[in-house]
Structure formats: C-alpha cells, structure tokens
Amino acid sequence: MASASQHRLRKRLLKAGHFIGLFLAMCVITIPGLWVVLNSFRPTVEIMAKPPVWIPNSLNLDHYRAMFGGAGQGGIPVWTYFTNSLIISVTSTLIALLIGMAGGYAFARYKFKGKAMTFVMLMATRAVPGVALSLPVFIIFGRTGLIDTHLGMILVYVALNVPFTIWLIDGFFRQVPKELAEAAEIDGCTRWQAFWRVEFPVARAGIASAGIFAFLTSWNEYALASQLTRSVSSKTMPVGLLDFTSQFTLNWGGMCALAVLMIIPALILTFLVQKHLIAGLTFGGVKG
Amino acid sequence: MTRAKLPPWLLLLMPAFLILAAVVLVPLLLSLYSSFTPYQLTRPETLWKINFPFNYEKALTDPGFWKAFGRTVLLLTIALNLEMLLGLGLALMVAKVQRGQRTLRTMMMFPMMFSPILVGFMFKFIFNDNVGLVNNALQSMGLASTAIPWLVDGNLALFAIICAEVWMSTSVFAILILAGLFALPQDPLEAAKVDGCTPWQSFRYVTLPFLMPFIYIAMAIRSLDVARAYDIVQVMTGGGPAKRTELLWTMIGRTGYVDARMGYANAMGYIAILLSIAFTVYFFLKLQSARRELGMGD
Amino acid sequence: MKGFGAGSVLALVASFGFAPAAMAEGEFAGVTIEAKLIGGQQYEALYSRIADWEKATGATVKIISQKNHFELDKEYKADIAAGTTGWCVGSNHSSFASQYPALFTDLAALVPAESIAGFVPANITAATIDGKLTMLPRAQFDVSALYYQKSLYADPAKAEAWKAKTGKDLAPPETWDEFRDQAIFFADPPNFYGTQYAGKDEAINGRFYELVVANGGKMFNDDMSPAFNSPEGKEALQWFVDLYKAGAVPPGTTNYLWDDLGNGFASGTVALNLDWPGWSGFFNDPSASKVAGNVGVAPAPKGSAGVRTGWSGFHGFSVTESCANKEAAASLVDFLTNEDSQKLESAPGPLPSRTAVWEYVIEQAKDDPYKSEVLAAFQETALTAFPVPPTPYWIESGNLIFPELQAAILGDKTVDQALEDASAAVDDLMRENGVY
C-alpha cells in the first residue's frame, strides 16, 4: 500500500516537475524574442529608459510606419529585401535538398572506397568560416558577374547547406532497413520507384528537418551576404538590418520592427513543415 | 560511354562535388595561395610576392593568437556541451507532452528564426550595463546594487556570449534529438520495461545509445557553426575589451578587412580551419562507432 | 569698396557663366553613373536631389550599393582586390580616405576652382591626400562638443557642494581636468554617471588622439613613427583611467560605441557627454530623449596645453580613377555638395562644410535658442578642429593601440606599460610595411 501511494506521489511530483521545467524552459526560450517584438512597438525613449519602464505606457506602430515610409523618414525598401530573401532562401533550399537527397542516398546505400574520407571532406567544407571565404568568393564572383545577383547568393547558400543536408538525410536513410527497399524491388519496382515509394516517405522527417535548417540558414545568413550583395536588387533582410545603423547611431526600435518581419515568415514556414515532420515520423514504427 | 561507367554513387554525389568545388574549394585554394604572400587588400600588387612562411611564423609565435585559439576551444567545448545537455532535456520534456505538442515544438524552434547578427544586437542590449534588461531586472528586484559590467569583465563577457550562443542554438540539438526520439523503436523499450528496468535504466541503456548518432550529428554540425559565431561576438564585444573575448574569427575578420592584411588573415584562417576539421573528424568517428553499436554502420 | 563690388559682380557673372557650363542641359545625356552611397537615415535625404541632377544633365544615376560606413569601407577594399572598380561615384570619409590611395581621382582637375573655394579651407586641406583632392565634403562635418544636463548646473545644493570642495563656481567645464573632476562629482553609480566614453575601435583612439594633441603632444612624428608614448600621452590615458577607477563612467563603457553613448545620454543617466552634432536633434526630442529641454551644449574643453580637443572628420563624395566618364561623375559630386545641397542636408542638424552655408544655418537658427546654442558651440570647436594623421595606417595602427588603452583603463596594465606596448606594436607595424 505504502509503496503504491508513494509511487503515485512520485508520479505526481514528476508530472509537476515536468510541467514546471517545461514552463521555465519555454520562458527562457521565448522571452528574449518577445522582448524584441515588444520593443518594435515601443518608442525609443521607453526602451532606453532608466529607471526601466516595465509596463509599457504607449504601444504604437511608429517604427513600422517609419520603416515603410519614404527615404529620409527612416524608410527602407522592406518589400524588396523581403522578396530577395524569399527567392534566394526558397530556391537554394530546394536545390540543396535535391542535391542532399542524392548525396545522402549515395552514402547510406552504396559502399565504395574512401567513403569515410569523402564524407569527412564534404563536411569539412562547412568548417570554412564566412569571413575566410567571403573575399575569394567575392573576387571570383566579381570576375564572373555574379556579384549582387540572386543567382550568386543562391549558389553560395546551396554550397553552404549541401554538406549538412547530406549528413542529415544520410542519417535518416540509414534508419530505413535495406530489406524494405529490397522487398519493393522484388515486387517489381525499379530502384527509382522503390526510392520514392519506400525510402523517401520514411526519410521525409529527415528531409523536412534538413529543409527547415537549410531555409533558416539561408534566411538568416549575414557574413557572406553582406559581402556579396550591394544594392537593393539583391540585399537580403539580415543585411537590411544594418540599414538601421549608421556611423554614430543605431535605431534599435526600427531594427526590432524589421526583425519581426523577418521572424514571421520563418515561424509560419516552420509551423507548416512540422506537419510533414509528423507524417514522416510515424513510419518510425515500421522499423521495430 | 564514360558516363555509363560512372558508378551510381559518384553520379549521385556529382552535383554536390561540383557546387562545393566551385563555391568552396576554388576560393579556398585562392586564399591558401594568398596566405603565402604579404597580400594587402588595398595594394593588389602585393599578391605576387611570396613570403612564406612569414605569416604562419608570425601567427604561431604571437601569444595573442594562441590566447584567442585557446578561448575559441574553450567556448566551443562549453557551449556545445551545454547545448547538448539542455537540448536533450528539452527534447525529452517536449516528447512527453501529448496535447499541443506542435505548438510547443514551434516555440522550441523560436530562437532559430533569429539571424545571428540580430541575436548579437539583442544580447548586447540585454546585457548592456546601464540600460540593459538583465541589470535593470536585477536592480529592480534588489539583487544587485551596482551595474554589473557584463560585457567588460572577461569571464562575464564570455558568459554573456555563451548565453547568446546557447539561447540561439539549443533548439538545433533539441529538434534533432526529438526527431531521434520519434524514430525510436518501441519494442526494446517495452522489453526493457518487462525486464523490470527503471525509467533511468531504460533511458541510459536503450534510448540514449539510440540517440547517440543524432547527438553526434548535431554536435558536429554545431561545432562547425559555433566556430562561425563571428556575427554574435563581433556585434556583442568585437573581441574586446582589451582582447578579453577575442576569438579566432574576430581576430581574422579584423585583420583581413579592417587592417586589409588578407595574407596574414588567411594564414590564421587556415590554422583555424584545421581546428574545426579536427572537431569534425572527432565527432564523425564518434558517430561511426555509435552507428556500429546499433548495427547501422557500413 | 568699389573695386570689391566690381570683383564680386565679376565673380557672380563668372559663376553664372559657369554654372550652365558645368551643368548644361542634357550635357551628359545617355550617360549612366554607377554610385555607391552611404546609407542611413541621416544621409539619405540628400539623395532626393539626384533626380534634379539627372533631369538637368540627362544622365542616369544607378545606386549600386547603399550600406553603412564600415560595410562600405570593406566593400571598397574588396573592390580594389577584385579589380571591380568600374563604378564612378562613391561616398568617402576623411578618416578612411587615406587607405585607398589609388582608388579615387583628383577632383581639383574636374571641378571648377570657384566651387572648391567655397568650402571651409581646413576641410579641403583634410580632403587632400598626397596632393590629390580625393573628395568633396558634404554637409556632414563632425567634431565633438560637450552636451550636458542643464539642471545639474542650476541646482543650488550641487553648486554649494562643488564650491565647498573646489572653491570654484559650478559651470560647464572649460578644461579636461575640470571635466574629469565634475564627472566624478556628479556620478552616483549605478543610477547616474558623470560621463561616458566610447571604449573601442577608432572611437577611443580618436578621443585619445585629440587629448594627446590638446595636451600639446603628437600621435605620430613626421616620419609616422609613434610619438604618443610621451608625458602628454600618459596624461591623456590617465584621464580615461581616472574616470573608470572612480566609477564615474558606466562599467561597460569600454564596450561602448557611439550609439551606446547617444542612447545613454538620452536616457538621462549621464551628466556630461562629449558627442557629435548629429545627436543634437535627438537629445532634444521629447519622443526620443528623457533630457529633452534640459540639454546644454558647450565647446569641447581644453587640454593642459590650452588647446581644445577637436578630432574631426567629414563625409564626402569621390570619383574613381577608372570611371568611364569622370566629368559627369565630378559634376554629380559637385552638385551634391553645392550650396543648395548643403542647405538641404544641414537643415535637420548636420554641420555644413561650406562657408556660406555655415552663415546660412546660423541665420536660420536665430529664433531657436537651442539650435543657436548648438551651432555656436560646434562652430567654436570647429575653428580649431583637426583631422586624423595623414597616414594609410591610421586605422590599422589604431587596432593595435586601442586594446592597450582598454587594458590600462580596466587595470590589466599600467598606463606606462600599455603605452609602451602600443608604441612598440605600432613601430613594428610601420617597419614591417616599410614606412621607415
């Protein structure tokens, strides 16, 4: 009896602990971000106030209004930046996923000499930091006319994301038992069909998360974009953030407003892709 | 005809090889060459003068470089382990939730929506000593009576940078580990339960080994990225004050672009790239052995 | 008198005669000028005038890059490296200009002499590098003056305490020593600080540099060997150290840049703030600043040699050496820096660089006491202002100096040690680059 009630108590405590832990974790995760959102609605005098103003007195859309206003009133070409970011990120993510699926499949399903070495070499390309890469890439792009174009940025982001999509997708393909695909092939499917019918659905979770990562990396990348873009025709939103800084000033409220516009699409996309993540994951049970 | 002779794996990998060669390898060879010269951006003619091994000697004998090197390794180690543990905890907690999990997962990934450069600005304001969120909160709650110089004191500044880094990247671990948790086969877990394992035992001996490949993937990816934490550090402290938070990348960025000494910067860059590769290889080997244990190896 | 009148009429005729020549109708029809212009709210109002120039000359201006100053600097360096310098007009800054000796062309040969004569002579001198006029200054002249909270000086209790302590009347500081003593006197950390200073990058080097000069010293000798490891240099660095040790500045000050200073003063938690003219409007704007209505402005204080600090710089426009149509580019640059352009640009607060426009803005401000006070203080400071030392290594040597200054401020090193190390490092740099 005693042990049963003790057991129940422990279970309840665990549940409470779980809840509190989760709540605290979510607070830590969201508060700094929500603080940015809040700042985008507050006048600068209140953000920088000392003693601090904890409960906002006046929330308004001034920073947004200024941002969409004309040049000279603090306006920046938000929509152009937005379109640039969207075109560059979506295209580069799709290409990186295709290349990554091909590569990941090769690593998961084929045996060849120097495989481990090839793999590490591929990954090592990711180790090259943007700072070290930006100048030589700039020189090459300068000679080939790719500077300040969408195509140039897409190429760079595909290269940036490929190693890591390969790695991630490879990991998920490995989870699919070889026998499944082989069985499908015996049933008369070609390897190509077997891939789409058997392996792809199972690895969809991996592909979805690789896609999220690739998209977010491209969407948020700054170091390379700041070198390879120059005018509004290709500047992406992270580079646009710097429009709020000048030699002596930094308009933090305005920066927050643009940041909010950057976060919303990413948030929506993540939320949508989650569905596929779940659908793909249910196949995990097949393995057992 | 030669096309037909290409083995399928090579064919599948060809697009990846091509793009990486074009965007990473060729530029890297260029910068490797320039690291043998006294190349200065503003003086293109300096590119044609070889002064090997001057740049490397200069870097390797500079105590400032080694301090930055050590600090980078320290930051990598602390940040990665912290992110891994927190990410694992977060994933386990989220996985247990039945209702509203989708929302929780999106919330969990919230920090990933933030551009590193924005995170830098954000935490610079949060840790500002005079009007920052942290000091204001501490002072309002009566926990501190002086302004704590978060971004000035060497240890505190490193702490603040790690906070920013951990805040931004724990999600990466959490989401990958969560994906692993969902792919976790149920049979061994049930078998463990039948055998009378405690929850801790079944976690330790069933769940964790299965999750290890996912953890190593995340570790390796992050170890490469954390070395790119240039944006955050550059915005928050710029490596200062008095070089107290100088990392390899801030040092390279400043030498290369502000001082325009690309040759020297690239030499330091190469030493730093070797460091990153060492981390990658280490985690890759770990990943291999974890996979072998699970029977998923080659 | 009569001769003078005739002369000016002649000049008038000449300028009228010249103006159409410089900007004849459709003169550059079909020409496209690619421009890299500094971005940011303060700088962009001027660009609305580009359309007028396009209309007048028939040329088209294509802005191919619009970034902040530091990003633009990186971009120019990358352009030189890649050889992609075919664009024509670029924003430039006096502190950065000497880094790109070959990128920009001599404007003296392309712009009418009388147009150049209208600029403040000291600005033209500073824009001339190795005998080449590398840029024409726009109405973005920067020198620092002292902003202070007026209420502090109107408080009888404070005045009495100050008198008891020093035997002097409490008034805005005239010298850097007074500045320091008052800052320490006003400070009440962590809620209120006496002053603050930018603590990194070129920002602290510039301050250090102007203090060395104000104390009668020099940053570099004529052969560009370091000269700041001197009694004057030590005195200058000691000023920063004293304030930090006394807790009169925010403890994070070594990590501050200009935006932190401006926001700090606007938050009402700082008594004295040596800062740039661009902030004057912001500080007095009730929707942005808590000290609005309480801001006083005085000329920059004097150092121990009786010299005012006056590290100054300005923005301008340059034309590249490899521009295909330099005449058209120079005409655009001339247009963007002419009197009308400077009047437009200086209207919200930035300081002009043309003598006639200085007079114009002072006249315009005469009904606005705050604006008049601001202009008077900055004009007084501008009289003795000086640019950065004319060496392409100003920024690079600065990157060696500022960490040492920080080390002394934070107490990692003594003042003597820090300056000695910085001096040795700069000496190495100059030797390595074959300067001497």
8 A C-beta contact, residue B160 and residue B151 = yes
C316, containing H or E segment: strand C312-319
Q: Write out pLDDT tens, residues A144-177.
A: 888 889 999 999 999 999 988 888 788 778 777 7
Looking at the fold, whether A50 and A124 belong to one and the same domain comes out as: no
What average pLDDT is seen over chain B? 84
8 A C-beta contact, residue C240 and residue C409 = yes
Residue B41, chain A, CB below 8 Å: the answer is: yes
Model confidence band, residue A281 (pLDDT cutoffs 50, 70, 90)? very low
Predicted confidence at residue C7, as pLDDT, reads: 40
Q: Domain map of chain B by residue range?
A: 62-294
Q: Specify the DSSP class assigned to residue C299.
A: P
Looking at the fold, whether C194 and C179 belong to one and the same domain comes out as: yes
What average pLDDT is seen over chain A? 82
Q: Write out pLDDT tens, residues B246-294.
A: 888 888 888 888 888 888 998 998 888 887 778 778 887 887 787 777 6
8 A C-beta contact, residue C50 and residue C336 = yes
Task: Say which residue the tokens 């180790």 belong to.
Answer: A127
The string of DSSP codes covering chain B is -HHHHS-HHHHHHHHHHHHHIIIIIHHHHHHHHHTTTT-BTTBGGGGG---TTHHHHHHHT-HHHHHHHHHHHHHHHHHHHHHHHHHHHHHHHHHH--TTHHHHHHHHTGGGGS-HHHHHHHHHHHT-TTT-HHHHHHHHTTS-SS---TTTSHHHHHHHHHHHHHHHHHHHHHHHHHHHHHH--HHHHHHHHHTT--HHHHIIIIIHHHHHHHHHHHHHHHHHHHTTTHHHHHHHTTT-STTTT--HHHHHHIIIIIS--HHHHHHHHHHHHHHHHHHHHHHHHHHHHHHHHHT---
Q: Write out pLDDT tens, residues C191-235.
A: 899 999 998 888 999 999 999 999 999 999 999 999 999 999 999
- Which CATH number do you get for residue A83? 1.10.3720.10
Domain assignment present for residue A72? The answer is: no
Question: How large is the average pLDDT for residues B140-153?
Answer: 82
Question: How large is the average pLDDT for residues A124-139?
Answer: 79
Q: Which structural domain, as residue segments, surrounds residue A32? A: 2-67
Domain assignment present for residue A53? The answer is: yes
3-class secondary-structure state, position C59: coil
Looking at the fold, whether C248 and C338 belong to one and the same domain comes out as: no
Looking at the fold, whether C305 and C335 belong to one and the same domain comes out as: no
Domain count for chain C, please give it. 2
8 A C-beta contact, residue C142 and residue C276 = yes
Task: Say which residue the tokens 């789409």 belong to.
Answer: A196
Largest CA distance in chain C: 74
Task: Say which residue the tokens 């006083």 belong to.
Answer: C296
Looking at the fold, whether C13 and C57 belong to one and the same domain comes out as: yes
8 A C-beta contact, residue A110 and residue A195 = no
Task: Say which residue the tokens 């870097």 belong to.
Answer: B59
Residue A49, chain B, CB below 8 Å: the answer is: yes
Question: How large is the average pLDDT for residues C53-75?
Answer: 87
Predicted confidence at residue C258, as pLDDT, reads: 86
Contacts of C116 (CB under 8 A, 6+ apart): C107, C108, C124, C133, C136
Distance of CA C230 to the CA centre of its chain: 26
How far is the C-alpha of A222 from the C-alpha of A252, rounded, in Å? 18
Domain assignment present for residue A211? The answer is: yes
Contacts of C139 (CB under 8 A, 6+ apart): C46, C337, C341, C342, C343, C345, C346, C350, C351, C352, C353, C354, C357
Looking at the fold, whether C79 and C176 belong to one and the same domain comes out as: no
Q: Which of B131, B242, B258 sits opposite C403 (nearest CB)?
A: B242
Looking at the fold, whether A86 and A54 belong to one and the same domain comes out as: no
Domain count for chain A, please give it. 2
Q: How far is CA A221 from CA A88, A240, A270, B226, B235, in A?
A: 11, 12, 17, 14, 14
- So what's the ipTM on this one? 0.85
Residue window 37-76, chain C: list those with CB within 8 Å of chain A. Answer: 38-45, 47-48, 63-69, 71, 74-75
Domain assignment present for residue C126? The answer is: yes
Enumerate the β-bridge partners of residue C296.
C148
Looking at the fold, whether C35 and C80 belong to one and the same domain comes out as: yes
Looking at the fold, whether A258 and A170 belong to one and the same domain comes out as: yes
Contacts of C338 (CB under 8 A, 6+ apart): C115
3-class secondary-structure state, position C239: helix
Residue window 55-94, chain A: list those with CB within 8 Å of chain C. Answer: 71-74
Q: Which of A222, A208, A202 is nearest to A157 (CA)?
A: A222
**Over 90: is that where the pLDDT of A247 sits?**
no
How far is the C-alpha of B168 from the C-alpha of A217, rounded, in Å? 12
Looking at the fold, whether A197 and A149 belong to one and the same domain comes out as: yes
- This prediction's pTM: 0.84
Looking at the fold, whether C14 and C104 belong to one and the same domain comes out as: yes
Question: Which of A67, A88, A112 corresponds to the end of one domain?
Answer: A67
Number of C-beta neighbours around residue B194 at 10 A: 8
**C263 contacts A245? CB cut-off 8 A:** no
Residue A276, chain B, CB below 8 Å: the answer is: no
Q: Write out pLDDT tens, residues C262-320.
A: 888 998 999 999 999 988 888 998 888 899 999 999 999 999 999 999 999 999 999 99
Q: Write out pLDDT tens, residues B186-204.
A: 788 888 888 888 888 888 8
8 A C-beta contact, residue C176 and residue C309 = yes
Question: How large is the average pLDDT for residues A96-111?
Answer: 90
The string of DSSP codes covering C181-219 is HHHHHH-BTTTBBS-----SHHHHHHHHHHHHHHTT--S
Level-2 CATH architecture, domain B62-294: Orthogonal Bundle (1.10)
**C45 contacts A71? CB cut-off 8 A:** yes
Domain assignment present for residue C388? The answer is: no
Predicted confidence at residue C119, as pLDDT, reads: 94
Question: How large is the average pLDDT for residues B22-50?
Answer: 87
Question: How large is the average pLDDT for residues C420-427?
Answer: 95
Q: Which of B131, B151, B257 sits opposite C263 (nearest CB)?
A: B131
How far is the C-alpha of C274 from the C-alpha of C252, rounded, in Å? 17
Looking at the fold, whether C250 and C301 belong to one and the same domain comes out as: yes
Looking at the fold, whether A162 and A89 belong to one and the same domain comes out as: yes
- Give the Cα-Cα-Cα angle A147, A149, A150 (nearest 5 degrees): 140
Looking at the fold, whether C18 and C51 belong to one and the same domain comes out as: yes
Domain assignment present for residue A99? The answer is: yes
**A148 contacts C64? CB cut-off 8 A:** yes
Domain assignment present for residue A17? The answer is: yes
How far is the C-alpha of C232 from the C-alpha of C77, rounded, in Å? 34
Q: Write out pLDDT tens, residues C235-261.
A: 999 999 999 999 999 988 988 888 889
How far is the C-alpha of C134 from the C-alpha of C117, rounded, in Å? 15
Contacts of B75 (CB under 8 A, 6+ apart): B158, B161, B162, B165, B226, B229, B247
Q: Specify the DSSP class assigned to residue C354.
A: B
Q: Specify the DSSP class assigned to residue A198.
A: I
Domain assignment present for residue C155? The answer is: yes
Q: Write out pLDDT tens, residues A206-220.
A: 788 788 888 988 999
Predicted confidence at residue C8, as pLDDT, reads: 42
Question: Which of A17, A37, A67 corresponds to the end of one domain?
Answer: A67
Residue B121, chain A, CB below 8 Å: the answer is: yes
Predicted confidence at residue C212, as pLDDT, reads: 96
**Over 70: is that where the pLDDT of C418 sits?**
yes
Looking at the fold, whether C191 and C292 belong to one and the same domain comes out as: yes
**Over 70: is that where the pLDDT of C24 sits?**
no
Residue window 43-82, chain B: list those with CB within 8 Å of chain A. Answer: none
Question: How large is the average pLDDT for residues A74-84?
Answer: 85
Looking at the fold, whether A180 and A256 belong to one and the same domain comes out as: yes
Mutation target among C47, C259, C311 for the A interface, most CBs of A within 10 A: C259
Q: Write out pLDDT tens, residues B89-105.
A: 999 998 888 888 878 88
Residue B142, chain A, CB below 8 Å: the answer is: no
Predicted confidence at residue A61, as pLDDT, reads: 87
Looking at the fold, whether A82 and A59 belong to one and the same domain comes out as: no
Domain assignment present for residue C23? The answer is: yes
**B258 contacts C396? CB cut-off 8 A:** yes
Model confidence band, residue B173 (pLDDT cutoffs 50, 70, 90)? confident
C143, containing H or E segment: strand C136-143
Number of C-beta neighbours around residue A265 at 10 A: 17
Predicted confidence at residue C405, as pLDDT, reads: 95
Looking at the fold, whether A42 and A97 belong to one and the same domain comes out as: no
C148, containing H or E segment: strand C145-149
Looking at the fold, whether C88 and C117 belong to one and the same domain comes out as: yes
Residue A186, chain B, CB below 8 Å: the answer is: no
Give the residue, A71 or C206, on which the prediction is more confident.
C206
Q: Which of B13, B24, B102 sits opposite A106 (nearest CB)?
A: B13
Contacts of C185 (CB under 8 A, 6+ apart): C161, C162, C165, C194
How far is the C-alpha of A204 from the C-alpha of A193, rounded, in Å? 15
Model confidence band, residue C4 (pLDDT cutoffs 50, 70, 90)? very low
Predicted confidence at residue C1, as pLDDT, reads: 38
Looking at the fold, whether A138 and A39 belong to one and the same domain comes out as: no
Q: Which of A137, A152, A273 is nearest to A210 (CA)?
A: A273
Looking at the fold, whether A49 and A108 belong to one and the same domain comes out as: no
What is the count of residue pairs from A and C with beta carbons less than 8 Å apart?
A: 109
How far is the C-alpha of C144 from the C-alpha of C300, rounded, in Å? 7
Number of C-beta neighbours around residue A57 at 10 A: 9
Domain assignment present for residue C267? The answer is: yes
Question: How large is the average pLDDT for residues C155-164?
Answer: 94
Question: How large is the average pLDDT for residues C397-425?
Answer: 94
Q: Which structural domain, as residue segments, surrounds residue C179? A: 145-309+393-432
Looking at the fold, whether A115 and A242 belong to one and the same domain comes out as: yes
Helices (H), chain A: 2-39, 44-47, 62-68, 78-109, 115-124, 130-144, 150-175, 178-186, 191-194, 200-220, 223-228, 237-241, 252-281, 284-287
Model confidence band, residue C16 (pLDDT cutoffs 50, 70, 90)? very low
Predicted confidence at residue C19, as pLDDT, reads: 42
**Over 60: is that where the pLDDT of A112 sits?**
yes
Looking at the fold, whether A187 and A107 belong to one and the same domain comes out as: yes
Looking at the fold, whether C356 and C255 belong to one and the same domain comes out as: no
